[in-house]
Amino acid sequence: MNFEDKEATREKVEIVMRQTDYSEDVALEKLREFNGDHIRVIKAYMGIAEKKELPVVSVNQEIYRQLRHRLDDSMRDYNKKQREKQAKELFDSE
């Protein structure tokens, strides 16, 4: 390990220590565990799961996936508004 690697590792340890309550030894151990990726160490400390994207097989597949999500969201909003409208009408009739 040369001087630049030691210096970079030291900086990463300090970043991890500032963002977490890890001691220097624990921060260094976590950096080794996450292959020197200080961002992943901090995310793991905060409990932020890594986002796993599904691979897109084709452009067509991506288009239909987005359409499905948009239609699902639209139907969810529509059903919510209908329930609120029915509840309001029921409440107003009493």
Are 24 and 40 in a shared domain?
yes
Residues of the chain with pLDDT > 90, as a percent, come to: 66
How many domains does the chain divide into? 2
Do 62 and 92 belong to one domain? yes
Residues 92 and 61 in one domain: yes
Q: Quote the longest CA-to-CA distance of the chain.
A: 80
Please determine, for residue 13, whether its predicted confidence score (pLDDT) is greater than 90.
Answer: yes
Q: Does residue 41 sit in the same domain as residue 58?
A: no
Q: Is 28 exposed, middle or buried (0-12, 13-18, 19+ CB in 10 A)?
A: middle
Same domain, 71 and 40: no
Same domain, 21 and 58: no
d(CA 79, CA 72): 11
Same domain, 41 and 59: no
Domain range for 24 = 3-46
Tell me what the mean pLDDT of segment 63-80 comes to: 94
Mean pLDDT over 18-39 rounds to: 94
Which residues have a Cβ under 8 Å from the Cβ of 30 and sit 6 or more positions away?
Answer: 16, 22, 41, 44, 45
